[in-house]
Structure formats: C-alpha cells, structure tokens
Structure 1
C-alpha cells in the first residue's frame, strides 16, 4: 500500500497540474467560444439579409431552397458530378421538384437558376439594362478581374472587335489551316502503338492550338515556355470551383500562385513582342497591343489574355475528348465521314500529302453536322453568371435586385420536347434545322457570345478530318 501511495502525487500537486492544464485550456476555449459567436452572428446577419430580400417580394421568388449552412448554402450539393451528357444532378433534381426556374444559395450568395431557354435568352439579351455580368469574386481572383466576362462598355467593344477581326482573318488563311493540321497530325503520330489517355491528349492538343492563335507561341519553337504555361494553367483551373480559402496547402491558394506565374509569362511575352519588328503573322495579342491606350490598359490586356486562353482551350478540349467516343459508338457516322473526307482528298491522297484549304473546310458539310451534334451533347459553355440590376419580373416570379442569376444551357440541349431521342448522337438531326435559336447555345449568347467560336469549329472539323482519314475504325 505504501508503495502505491508514493506513486500518487499529493493532492496539492495534482490540483496544481489541473490548474496548469486549465490555464492552457482556457485561452483555447475562449478562442473557440469567440469563433462560435462570430459564426453565429455572421449566419444571423446573412440569413436576416436573405429574409429581408425575400420579404420584399412577398413570396414572388421562384421556388427552391437556400440550404441549411450559412455562406455555404447548397454549394456542396451543386458540386456533385453529373451523368452521361445530362445536366448536373443538382440541376436535374431541382427541375423535377421546382420547374425550370428556381432559387438556391451557391458560390456564397442567393442565386436564381434558369434552365428555361426563353428566360435564358432574356437574361443574355438584356445585359446592360436589366442584368450585368456577375461572376463570383473567388473565380475572378483566378481568371482576372478585367477578363472578357467583366469588362464593359467601350473597353469590351474594343476587345471583342479585335478578337473577331483577328479570328475572321486567320481562319481563312490557308497557312493557319496548315499549321492547325500539322499540330494535330504531330499529336496523332505519337499515339501509334500506344494506349492513349485521351483526356490528357485532348487538353494538351487544344492548348497547343490556342496558344499559337492567341499569342503566337509554338509547341516546338517555344517548348519550355509552352510547358511552363500549360502546367500553371492546369493548376489555375483546379481552383476555380473549390473552397476559396487562400491558406497554405489549399487548392485555391495554389491556383492563385499559378495565376501569378501565368501573368509573369504574359508580361515577358508582351515585352518580347514590343521589342521585335512587325511580322507577317498577327495573333490576338498583337491585335490587343496595337490598340493599347486609355481605353485598353496593359492590365486589362493581360487579364483578357489570361481569361481567353483558359476558356478557349478548356472548352474545346471537352469536345475533342469525346469525339472519338461518339464516332466509335456510331460506325455509320464514321463511315459517312470517311466517304466525305476521302472524297475531299481525292486520288492524290494515296501518293502525296494533301494540304487542306479554306475551300476544303467549307465543303465538309456532314462534318459540320457532326461538330454541331458534339457541341449539343458536350455543351462546353454550360453556364454563365449574371446579376440583376433591378427587380426583374419573369414568368410571374421576381428576380430581386442584387441577386446572382445563373442561366444553365444543358437542359435545353437534352430536352426530349426539343430534340428527339436527345441522348443519341445523331448528326442527321441537323438536316434543315436552324441552329441560330435559343435552344442551341454551346457558345453562350448576347453581347458576350464566344468571339472565337468559328476558330473552335475549324479546329474541331480539322481534328475530325485527320481522325477519320487515319483510323479505319474507333
């Protein structure tokens, strides 16, 4: 017993130890309590603000739920993956529950989501009067505060005109068409005898094509610079829809750091272009630098190039990635394409390399339908963000001033009342069908419709050409 008693510290020592532990715990407990109070007060303010905005409209808000967690709302549910060519699970579930127009709380704020083609057209066409661009700040911090989604007025007009003019001249240039073809063939040559990870291949191919058209970089002549730019743009993309916490180890922080590196590359590239004499080639960056001034500052040019580069290669890559699957699953489509493209090449294709031209591209009539069908199913520009500039009445509901509005285009693209058997890949559905309508919006719409859409369609068509003439089957 004595030995046991000696092992137990005296009561006063034990009380001293407890006091020491208590002294250590108290600051932690106090910090936790303060944090809890701040979170509670913040949630009350946010929820109160939401109720205040909702009460202004006397129940005229579209149906929907705002989620249980303040700030987060329904963002976690929104991020769930979607099924094959269908709208995201979050979207499709709510269409069933509430219809094509509903409210939610995503990306840190109350949001009205529209999947109705007519409402989407209204939102896109009324930018500047009823709506304005309204991308979440966390996204803009990565792709640039002055990118093409955010600039307005004369600045936006100047940038859009430059892009349209450069794209219009380049797609008709047989040298540009030849360059795109050579880049595609070079990439395909590396696939011989290999297992192809097509998501990676499509992304890098799209990137290689984009950096040449936008800034004159070559994957061969500027290999190190191109690799570095690609690596950091990929890192940048990863942070777009993640939790926006700029803390060590977080994806969002790595994306912010990658953005800085991309900006440095663009600054060095601009410095080179400003020092060299004018050349025969004229890319989009050249066009923007030519009109640099009070309306278009260097900061805006860099943000525009950052945003356009990311958007152009990411969206095109999504379509490139799935074209082989569409053709492999539909051998009758593959056969029709081969007939068209071997006819374009003619008898010379057996003995010599045939260089494609603008006229050859314009003769790819069935290929055009294949590209449209791929764009319909993949729908690379699925959503955009706007903000209501005033209370807007839509279909008996009110979109409150200051609320985010998110037109979502993919539901219309897979709506069986618009497209018969919508999940099937059927290029013939485009026979005599008008594509200039509100039910087909792969490139968005309104004043911010993709200015490079014709270049994207050219790249996709040339990819199809080389794929079907090099492969008997997929």
Structure 2
C-alpha cells in the first residue's frame, strides 16, 4: 500500500513538475516577446523622434541659408556661370539671380563647391573687410597645381606693396616711355592694319621684363612670353591633368618659369654682392635687397614675381585693348584724349622722356581708362572661403562655403551708375564713385598691389597711341567674349591705323 502510495506520489510530483516547466516555458516566452516588443517600441519611437528633430532642424537650416538653387547634381551652376559671358552679357548670371532671390546674397554651386555670391557695395565691403578673420582668399585646385605658392603671407605682401608705392614707381615712368617708344616703332608703325590684342600683350610683357628683370633683348623676352601665354588657359580649366590638356600645358609652363626666375634670382644675388647690379635697378633687385626679402629663398622670390606678372600681364593688356576699341568707336572721346596728350607733348622738348608730373596731368585720359575698367573690368570677381560659421544679412554662411564677389553687381547697376551701359568718362571727373561700388582692382587685403603700376603703364600706352594714329575698327560690331580670366574681343580687335600727318 505504501509502495503504491509512493508510486502515485512520484507520478503526481512528475506531473506537477511538468506542469511547472510548461508554465515556466510559457512565462519565458512571454518575457522574451515582451522584451522584444518593448525594445522595438523604444527603437521606433526613438527613430521617429530623431527623424522629427532632424527634419525640423533641416527646415530651420534651409530657412537661414541664403536663397537660391544649387543647379545640376555635382556640376551645380558652373556651366551657366562660365558661359554667361560667351554671349557678351557676363552680368546676367549675377543680376538675374539678384532679381529672383536676393539683391544682397544668394546661394549657388560653383566649381563643385557650395557657394554664396555676395552682391552690392555691402557685400563687397563685408568680404574685403573680414579678410583673415571670417574669410580667406580661395582659388580652385587647378591654380595651386600650376602655381604652388598662390597666397602670400602678410610680410611678403607688405614688401610688395612697399615697392609698388607711387614714390617708388615714379622712377619707372621714363623706363616705360622708352619701352613704349620702341614698341610702337617696331610693332605698329609702317602697318596699315594690326591685331590689337596681340600687340598689347607684347607691350605689357615687354614692360614687365624690363622693370622686373632689366631684360629687353627680344630673344630673352620671347623665351619667357611663350610659357606665360600657356599659364592663363590652364588656371580655370577642367581639372584633367593629361598630356595635351590646358592644365598639363600650364603645369609644365609653370615649372619652366619657376626654374628660369629662380636662376635669375640666384645670379642677381651674386651680382649684387659683387657690385655688378644696382639695388634699385628693377623690382627683382628691390626685393632681394629688402630687409625681409634678403632672407627669402630664391624659389619664393620667383613665385612672388610670377604671380605679380600674371596679375598684370593679361589684365593690363586687356584694358589697353578695350581702350583702343572705345577710342576707335567714339571719335569725340578720342579727340579729348588727343588734345590732352598733345598739350603734354608740346610742353616739353621732343627728346625728353615722360616723367611723373606728365602722367599726373593725364586726368581725362585716366577717366577714360576708368570707364573702360567699369564696363569691361579685367576680372569678373574673385573667390573667398568661409573660415568659420557666420551670419550675413540674416542668413547663415557655413564654414567651408566658397564666397564670390562680382564687379557686375555694382558696375552695371543703375542704382550706382546712371545709364550704366553708356560710355561716360565724366563719371570720374570730381566725385569718386560711392565706396565699394567701383572695384576693378578688388579691395581689402587683396587689393591689387600693381594698381598704380597699371595706371602708369596704361597712360604711357595711350600717350603714344593717340599721338601717332587715328583708329578705325575693321569689324564694327565685334563681339566681346568674357571668361573667368579676362574679357576679349572675339577676333582680337583688328584695327586700321591712320598715321597723323607731320
């Protein structure tokens, strides 16, 4: 009986244990399911909250970014930016978007970069005044591949500006006059027709070689001019470094120029030490004898001078070309320039070279040049880069964005220049244009250091041009083509030369 009870007890216990295990399994499964769905709920809610947060945050960011559009994927609006000048209206890219989005600043995408275009005198002032604090100079990667050292330090820029002050440059007026006399005798006189742009480039490069290196031998000048010609097309070219491309040709030209100018600098140091060269004979000597320049490596001197020549060579030749263009188109303007230059010529012996005082008297001629620089500035504008987040005109500008200022947001704006398409040198008679509206030479830290150098060179060119010839355009309505480097006349401005009678 006890044995039966024991067996029954055991069976009951087994059944009870089985029931307990089943209940425990059910509980475990329920616990796992509960934990799973609880976790899933937390994850879903977290994702929804995170999505809602970032969505609201992105909406806020879109609201504070400047208005505008990014254009096509990757390439952005670069094509429209570059090609707007091909039709002769480079201002359209900026002015159309100023009208559509904002007259202060608008967003775009250029050179594969997010960019903001700052407009009007306020935009110019902001970028020029905040150099090194909020923004810094920026150039596309193609430029640094061609010219390894493109942005010079504060001390180098101080040295450059010191040697390009009017009181220093006045000694070069006579030198430019001699170069101009020889240039017009050999390249212009005796020809019924010339190609203006080709000759103005020869002239400005001859001046640069003489004043920077004391070189005037045609063979040596030509040896340097060919590689300099290859630099400009590569600066803002498609970034493909393959044989035959503009970028590769420009890189090779840059290497050649750097080698040649470095050798010149090394030899000049030796000549200065031996007394075979004068400390003031040219820009190269001035730089090498400068307290700061004495400690510069020859390669740094070469890079610095290369940048200065590039900055003046193409831009000044372009301005001289368009001066010829407008003098040929506008006989009443030509006559006023001619009278002024003839009065200066008659006031001195025929064999005496031009001097600083003569150039200072060329006020009307310089007004004409200023109006040319307003209508066809040698550069459309330049880039900066935001070095920190900042706010401008109520809009957020993120760190790393590229910032562009354009001459055309003011130069052809009727708010600042009455009848902006009209050629009117009297705009510059007495009162200067409003601050930051006339910016052909840039402004701020990167104001063109060669501005005064270019002024003298242009006026000496005009002096000899009008005294020797009357001008007639071969192609009356030759199209102006603009690119990122400089404006050009489509056919190079062929001109009939009509020499003045003795």
TM over 0.5: yes
Match of residue 282 from structure 1: 281
Counterpart-to-counterpart distance in 1, 2:155 and 2:263 = 26
1:303-335 deviations in Å (ceiling 9; x for gaps): 212211111111111101110111122111111
1:100-140 deviations in Å (ceiling 9; x for gaps): 32122212211111232211111111111111122222222
What secondary structure does 1:264 align onto? helix
Q: Which moved more, 1:290-299 or 1:159-168?
A: 290-299
Counterpart-to-counterpart distance in 1, 2:243 and 2:56 = 37
Counterpart-to-counterpart distance in 2, 1:209 and 1:274 = 22
Match of residue 221 from structure 2: 226
Change in 2 beyond 3 A, CA 1:322/1:108: same
Normalising by the residue count of structure 2, what TM-score does the alignment of the two structures yield? Answer: 0.76
Counterpart-to-counterpart distance in 2, 1:300 and 1:60 = 43
Match of residue 389 from structure 1: 387
Counterpart-to-counterpart distance in 2, 1:264 and 1:330 = 45
* 1:291-440 correspondence runs (5 A): 291=291, 296-346=296-346, 352-435=350-433, 437-440=435-438
Aligned mate of 1:87, from 65, 86, 90: 90
What secondary structure does 1:69 align onto? coil
Counterpart-to-counterpart distance in 2, 1:294 and 1:465 = 37
1:179-199 deviations in Å (ceiling 9; x for gaps): 212222322232232421111
Q: Which moved more, 1:186-195 or 1:260-269?
A: 186-195
Note if contact 1:102-1:112 (Cα within 8 Å) is conserved in structure 2.
Answer: yes
Note if contact 2:164-2:453 (Cα within 8 Å) is conserved in structure 1.
Answer: no
Change in 2 beyond 3 A, CA 1:102/1:52: farther
1:27-66 deviations in Å (ceiling 9; x for gaps): xxxxxxxxxxxxxxxxxxxxxxxx9997783421112222
Higher strand share: 2
Asked whether 1:168 is paired with 2:169, we answer no
Match of residue 245 from structure 1: 240
Normalising by the residue count of structure 1, what TM-score does the alignment of the two structures yield? Answer: 0.80
Q: What displacement does 1:436 show? A: 7.0
Unpaired stretches in structure 2, ≥5 consecutive residues: 1-54, 473-502
Change in 2 beyond 3 A, CA 1:296/1:268: closer
Note if contact 1:117-1:409 (Cα within 8 Å) is conserved in structure 2.
Answer: no
What secondary structure does 1:423 align onto? coil
Counterpart-to-counterpart distance in 2, 1:82 and 1:448 = 24
Q: What displacement does 1:239 show? A: 0.7
Note if contact 1:162-1:287 (Cα within 8 Å) is conserved in structure 2.
Answer: no
Counterpart-to-counterpart distance in 1, 2:245 and 2:340 = 50
Note if contact 1:80-1:88 (Cα within 8 Å) is conserved in structure 2.
Answer: no
Aligned mate of 1:455, from 453, 456, 465: 453
Asked whether 1:270 is paired with 2:265, we answer yes
Note if contact 2:77-2:109 (Cα within 8 Å) is conserved in structure 1.
Answer: yes
Counterpart-to-counterpart distance in 1, 2:211 and 2:315 = 15
Counterpart-to-counterpart distance in 1, 2:377 and 2:411 = 8
Which has more radius of gyration? 2
1:140-164 deviations in Å (ceiling 9; x for gaps): 22233x23xx223xxx234333443
Aligned mate of 1:470, from 445, 464, 468: 468
1:410-466 deviations in Å (ceiling 9; x for gaps): 231111121111122111121212147210111110011111111100111111111
- State the Cα RMSD in Å: 2.5
